[in-house]
């Protein structure tokens, strides 16, 4: 299967599955427990239909939006995700390069494999730093100061991951960082030799946001241990309010799934929230992001930027979220499978296809700019 034969999310997923060792593919592909929420995230779009208007004289399409103080050429951005150089040796460099080419926002994770400083210096694109709250308050302050010094535009605090979700696919393969594979997992690596060649012939795997503070490579800690032992489950609204004041800029909470929490985010001075259930990777059985979007927008959409995340695979999915009032849509697995399939070329092809879908669907909807989309364009079954 060639990259040129990939035309949608499912094609990129298939190509990634052919190229990645099973444990790494399943790390991207899997969710928590029975993966009910992960499946519902995408299925939820099927309960909503688009209502197009015809004869509106659509000629030029303007896909630009402004979100979290950033002017983007597209209503989609590349969400911060962990461990990208495991998926392809280019890692975050490929993702940032594609985001720069398409004029949209890109996020670096606390568990990123390229430093925030390098990305901020090399790529001219708005950058989000996705932050986890640690028990060590000094570490929290140091990481925020690094982000400030790197001129990162948006701080995005993940609030739904104070402990790791129960990802049973990873338990079955023995996936961990550092690798602790069982025999089945080792066989999967042996059958994907090109991945192993790329892994050992490029720079040593590292987590530069954390390496100065936590030993993640010497066997002292795994990713699971990191979530369980390093992150602070006692994090509360007062802690976050202090962070918002210290950052003194665009500050977003990722993982908001209740109207009450959305209102609290407004009260403490956040400028954005991401409606997200972490792609179904944390609390299985929680509501899908799309099902929850409208009531959140109705409650706080006039006071704070409401961003949508989790499950978008098509241009029509993006339009439905925007019509409900989301300011932008974050893409996760959609671009990660493309990254795993072919590095930056893969991400660029995925973005090219997504942009083409959105532009075509906007024309079919009779809308020439994103702000034309509204609740009149959708009906729930």
Distance CA 174, CA 163 (A): 19
- Cβ(79)–Cβ(105) below 8 Å: no
**3-state SS assignment for residue 49:** strand
Give the pLDDT score at 267.
97
Give the pLDDT score at 221.
47
> By C-alpha distance, which of 273, 252, 222 is closest to 111?
222
pTM, full prediction: 0.93
Task: Output the six-digit token pair for 146.
Answer: 């690094």
Give the pLDDT score at 163.
81
Distance CA 31, CA 13 (A): 15
- Cβ(112)–Cβ(207) below 8 Å: yes
DSSP string, 192-250: -HHHHHHHHHSSPP--TTTTTT---SSSS--HHHIIIIIB-TT--HHHHHHHHHHH-SE
- Cβ(262)–Cβ(304) below 8 Å: yes
Q: 154 forms bridges with which residues in the sheet?
A: 128, 250
**List of residues 6+ apart from 339 with CB closer than 8 A:** 84, 87, 88, 90, 91, 94, 95, 346, 347
Phi, psi of 74 (to 5 degrees): -130, 155
What is the pLDDT tens value at each position of the chain, 381 positions in all?
Answer: 799 999 999 999 999 999 999 889 999 999 999 999 999 999 999 999 999 999 998 989 999 999 999 999 999 999 999 999 999 999 999 999 999 999 999 999 988 999 999 999 999 999 999 999 988 888 888 889 999 999 999 999 999 988 888 898 988 887 877 666 667 767 777 788 888 888 889 998 888 888 777 665 544 345 666 777 778 888 999 999 999 999 999 999 999 999 999 999 999 999 999 999 999 999 999 999 999 999 999 999 999 999 999 999 999 999 999 999 999 999 999 999 999 999 999 999 999 999 999 999 999 999 999 999 999 999 998
Distance CA 285, CA 33 (A): 9
> By C-alpha distance, which of 258, 247, 14 is closest to 131?
247
**Which residues are tagged catalytic?**
278
Distance CA 299, CA 292 (A): 11
- Cβ(332)–Cβ(79) below 8 Å: yes
Q: Which residue has the tokens 């190509």?
A: 15
> By C-alpha distance, which of 183, 168, 164 is closest to 26?
168
**Cis peptide before 178, with omega less than 30 degrees from 0?**
yes
- Cβ(30)–Cβ(167) below 8 Å: yes
């Amino acid at each position: 299967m060639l990259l040129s034969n990939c035309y949608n999310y499912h094609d990129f997923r298939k190509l990634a599955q052919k190229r990645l060792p099973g444990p790494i593919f399943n790390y991207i592909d899997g969710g928590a427990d029975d993966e009910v929420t992960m499946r519902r995230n995408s299925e939820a779009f099927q309960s909503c239909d688009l209502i197009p208007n015809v004869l509106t004289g659509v000629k030029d399409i303007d896909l630009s939006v402004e979100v979290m103080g950033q002017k983007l050429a597209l209503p989609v951005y590349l969400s911060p995700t962990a461990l990208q150089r495991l998926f392809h040796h280019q890692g975050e460099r490929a993702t940032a390069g594609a985001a720069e080419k398409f004029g949209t926002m890109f996020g670096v994770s606390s568990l990123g494999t390229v430093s925030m400083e390098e990305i901020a210096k090399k790529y001219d694109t708005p950058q989000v730093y996705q932050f986890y709250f640690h028990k060590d308050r000094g570490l929290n302050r140091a990481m925020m100061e690094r982000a400030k010094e790197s001129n990162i535009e948006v701080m995005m605090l993940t609030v739904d991951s104070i402990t790791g979700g129960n990802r049973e696919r990873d338990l079955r393969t023995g996936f961990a960082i550092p690798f602790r594979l069982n025999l089945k997992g080792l066989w999967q690596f042996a059958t994907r030799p090109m991945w192993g060649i790329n892994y050992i012939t490029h720079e040593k795997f590292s987590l530069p946001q954390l390496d100065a503070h936590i030993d993640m490579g010497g066997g002292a800690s795994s990713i699971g241990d990191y979530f369980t032992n390093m992150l602070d489950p006692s994090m509360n609204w007062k802690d976050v309010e202090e962070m918002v004041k210290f950052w003194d800029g665009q500050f977003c909470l990722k993982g908001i799934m209740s109207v009450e929490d959305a209102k609290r985010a407004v009260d403490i001075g956040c400028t954005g929230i991401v409606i997200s259930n972490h792609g179904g990777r944390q609390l299985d059985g929680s509501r899908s992001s799309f099902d929850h979007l409208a009531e959140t927008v109705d409650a706080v959409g006039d006071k704070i930027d409401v961003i949508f995340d989790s499950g978008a695979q098509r241009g029509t999915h993006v339009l439905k979220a925007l019509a409900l009032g989301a300011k932008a849509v974050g893409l996760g697995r959609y671009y990660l499978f493309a990254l795993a399939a072919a590095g930056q070329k893969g991400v660029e092809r995925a973005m090219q296809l997504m942009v083409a879908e959105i532009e075509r669907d906007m024309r079919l909807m009779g809308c020439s700019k994103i702000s034309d989309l509204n609740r009149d364009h959708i009906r729930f079954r």
